[in-house]
Structure formats: C-alpha cells, structure tokens
Amino acid sequence: MQKYDIIVVGMGPGSIFMAYEMTKIDKTKKVLLIEQGKRVEDRNCPIEKLGKCAKCKPFCNITSGFSGAGAFSDGKLSLYNEEDDDIYVGGNLHKYIGVEETKKIIDYADKVYLSFGADNKLEGTEFKNEIKEIKDRAKKEELSLIDIPIRHLGTEKAHELYKRIENYLEENNIDLMFETVVDDLIIEDNTAKGVKIRSANSKEKETTSIYGDKVVVAVGRKGANWLSDMCKKYSIKTESGAVDIGVRYELPDKVMKNINTYMYEAKFIGRPGPFKDKVRTFCQNPSGFVSAEVYDNNLTLVNGHSYKDRKSTNTNLALLVSHNFKYPFNKPIDYGRNIAKNLNELGNGNIVVQRLGDIYRGKRTWEKELETNQVVPTLKSAVAGDITFALGYRTMTDILQFIRQVDKVVEGFANPENLLYAPEIKFYSNKIYIDNNFETSVKNLYSIGDGGGMTRGLMMASCSGIKMARILKDIK
C-alpha cells in the first residue's frame, strides 16, 4: 500500500510552492502532487494554429497541467505597497495569517520567482506623481484606483520558469503524478485518509487508492466544480461566496498608454448606480491577446494574457461585477454557469464578441463590421453577436455605467469601437470554510489557492502554498 505524509490534489502555483517550501524546511516528508493535466513542457494550446479552440481532451491545456492556470497566464505577480496597512489584491490570505506575515511571505515568494528566472524589473514603481494625478481624477468620479508594484513574467517566460521549478521538484524527491484525475477523497470518521485516482486518458472509471496523513486540495478554479461535489458528498463546511461575472474588454493601446506606462495594470473599483454593485477592472494586459479557456462541462470562458516579446496593438482587461445571493437562491456557481452556457450557445460553442457602440445602438455586431472596426479582435475564434441576450440586465447596466465612469478618467475608454467579449466569469465562489491552519471541517483535509476561495491570483496562491508547508511541518 502506497502511503505519503502529504498528498496534494492539483499542481497549480499553490501546490508547487507548497512542495518547494517543503524541500527547504523538511526534506524527510514524503510528498506527492497529483495533476490531471500534462507536464508543463507538453502543454500547448492549438488555438493559434487552428484559429479556433480545439476543446482539447481530456483537459484544456490552458487551465490544466503543471503550474495550473499559471502556465498560460500573463504571469503578473502582484506585490504590495510598503505603506499600505491592508492587502488589496489576490484574495484573502491575509485574513487568515495577518497583513504583516502575508507581506513577508510575498517578499519570500518573489525571491523564489526571481531565483527561477523572473524579470528583475518591477512595474508601477517609477511614476509616483503621475499615478497620484490619475488617482485624484478617479476619486472625483467615485472610483478607487489601486496601484501596486507588479512583476511581469510574460506568458512564454512563465512557461520556461515553471519548467525549471518542475525540474527542481523532481530533483528534490517530490513525486509528481501527471495525467491522473483525483476522482474522490477517502474520508473516514470525518478524517481524510487519502484519495482515489484514475488515469485521465482511459475510459475505465476504476480507481486506485493512495493513502496520506494529510490531504491538501489545491484544485484552482478548474477544480471548483469537483470540490463543490466533494463538499456535498462529505458535508465539508462551506461559506456562501460571490460570483464575478462580466466581460473581457479590448481597446487600443493608445487609449491606455498612460496607465500602461505608469502602472502596467490599473485596478479601478467602482459602485455605479442604480445597483451599487462592486465593479472592477482585473487582469490588464497591455499589447496583449484575448484568449479562450475551456472548463468542466465544456464551458468556454474568455481571459487574456500578454507575451514579453510578441505584441499586439490592443490592451485587454476584465470588467467584473460581483454578485452575492442569499435567500431563497444561494448557488452562485450555478448562476454563473447558466450565464456562460447561454453565451456559449449564442456563440455556437465560442466566445461572443460585440462592439460597445452596437450595445448602445441596441443591435448585434456582424462579422463584416469587425473587419473594418478600428479595434481588431485578437481572439480570432470569437464570434460576432449580441452578449446582451445572455448577460443579465443588472450585470450589463453595471458594466455600461462603469465604462462611462472610467471614460472620464481615461479618455477613449467608452469608444464605440471598443470590444466586449463574454462570458468572463470567475468561479471562486465555492468558499470552503478553513481555520487559521487552512484545515477544513474534515480533519487532516486542507485547502489552499483559488479553488477553495482563499486566493485569486498567482502570487497569493503561491504564498498560500508556502504557508501551508510551514504549517504542515509543525503539525504531527
């Protein structure tokens, strides 16, 4: 019978930084990471060659494999401002371990990224006066502007960096099991004992059991669905969360020139009327490319990234609205999934793209109109159509009002030829209850990273892994 000290489900940044840290603090621990996707060097997305999403089987290469969603991400590592007494980006790790410790772990994780080849340059630290001027203008429009230093890996460099980490972990006796699905957890007397696995490539549903003293789930947004099923099956305590629904917005670099130069990424947050929902910009990619990624049940969602060397002339960013539900309906994941499903159907399985001006005019966008549009879509597989058929009135109104607000700070932000791609949805709404040691309501079962709702980004997911290793080292 195989037995490990620690089994980690998933191999995203949360998981691999946990394993990295364990090699530094306790080499005696026997650690196994299990991933349904491929090794990082075997991951590639055929969308550029084919011009459309190939719906890779058994799993989307953008979201699955070594380094999880990090491999094809833009690789923006969000740091923090020394003077801030809170952490504004990347989720809620600081709510469990405090702001000061979170800052220290961010410093440490940043050094680890640098040691594996991250760019030395930090974006957003040079133009303090210019940033202040934009911040003041934003404030007048009732928008907050969060600026924090960012280290930009770039999609292709992120790939290389994660390959070095993959090599390092194997050289340091961490067991990596690829193309293996964790089908089920083994839980007896409310205590985790291990996992049940099966091959990702076989039609056989038969599983094999692997036992471990501690089981850490680090399944990312890709695994949110599976995790939600596990919570129901084993009565793992969850907390109600939000779902973030919106669009990927694409506009010319020249409109975003100042923001891109001074900050690389601006995080605007507003609460436009009449609903006063929280609306924010997220994941900004200067000279970037809009991308499509496939989730469970073949849901296609839009995202964006940018390369270090290859450039477009457009900037893309997410415009996201946070929705909370309480009573009688409290299924934010289902709500988001239904919206995504409707949009996918409208796009015949593809992302739908529409010009802002067409939404104002109350009409769909046609392919031929995109051919002469000032903003040329960088996601070639996107289908021109009408996103207002599927995005709810409330979400749509929030987004349109927010665009108008930002336009007063960044001239041209509401240009009618700017593009909205949908659906962009963040499924981190299945928030798992964890204590300060990241232990769930099931003994010896832990949750880190985006999947359980603790984090929302590369840096914080990595930090949650580092802290997890430090916690587990001391727990008998």
Ligand X SMILES: Cc1cc2nc3c(=O)[nH]c(=O)nc-3n(C[C@H](O)[C@H](O)[C@H](O)COP(=O)(O)OP(=O)(O)OC[C@H]3O[C@@H](n4cnc5c(N)ncnc54)[C@H](O)[C@@H]3O)c2cc1C
Q: How far is the CB of 311 from ligand X (least distance, A)?
A: 16
Helices (DSSP H) in 83-142: which residue ranges?
93-97, 99-115, 128-140
Q: Which of 106, 219, 318, 320 binds ligand X (CB under 6 A)?
A: 219
**Quick check: 11 binds ligand X (CB under 6 A)?**
yes
Which of 193/364 has CB closer to ligand X?
193
Q: How far is the CB of 102 from ligand X (least distance, A)?
A: 15
Contact yes or no for 440/52 (Cβ under 8 A): no
- Classify residue 416 by its DSSP letter: T
- Classify residue 25 by its DSSP letter: H
Q: How far is the CB of 304 from ligand X (least distance, A)?
A: 7
Q: How far apart are the first and last CA of the chain?
A: 21
* Per-residue x/- track, 442-461, ligand X (CB under 6 A): -------xxx----xxxx-x
* Per-residue x/- track, 55-94, ligand X (CB under 6 A): -------xxxx--xxx-xxxxx-x----------------
Which of 238/405 has CB closer to ligand X?
238
Contact yes or no for 382/347 (Cβ under 8 A): yes
Q: Residue with structure tokens 């491999």?
A: 71
Q: How far is the CB of 448 from ligand X (least distance, A)?
A: 7
Q: How far is the CB of 17 from ligand X (least distance, A)?
A: 8
Rg of the chain over Cα atoms, rounded to whole angstroms, equals 22
**228 φ, ψ (degrees, to nearest 5):** -65, -40
Which of 332/452 has CB closer to ligand X?
452
**Quick check: 179 binds ligand X (CB under 6 A)?**
no
Contact yes or no for 218/9 (Cβ under 8 A): yes
Q: Residue with structure tokens 């991250």?
A: 118
Q: How far is the CB of 369 from ligand X (least distance, A)?
A: 27
**Quick check: 221 binds ligand X (CB under 6 A)?**
yes
Q: CA-CA-CA-CA torsion for 63, 65, 69, 71, nearest 10 degrees?
A: -120
- Classify residue 433 by its DSSP letter: P
Q: Torsion-angle region of residue 136: left (phi > 0), alpha (psi -120 to 50) or beta?
A: alpha
Q: Residue with structure tokens 């303090």?
A: 128
**Quick check: 283 binds ligand X (CB under 6 A)?**
yes
Q: Which amino acid appears at position 290 of this protein?
A: V
Q: How far is the CB of 67 from ligand X (least distance, A)?
A: 7
* Per-residue x/- track, 16-45, ligand X (CB under 6 A): ------------------xxxx--------
Which of 262/295 has CB closer to ligand X?
295
Q: Which of 8, 53, 218, 384 binds ligand X (CB under 6 A)?
A: 218
**Using CA atoms, how far apart are residues 142 and 276, in angstroms rounded to an integer?**
11
Size of the site for ligand X (CB under 6 A): 46
Length of the chain (residues): 476
Tokens of 159: 């790939």
Nearest residue by C-beta to ligand X?
A: 220
Task: Report the interface residues with ligand X, using CB under 6 A.
Answer: 9-15, 34-37, 62-65, 68-70, 72-76, 78, 181-182, 218-223, 226, 283, 291, 293, 303, 305, 449-451, 456-459, 461
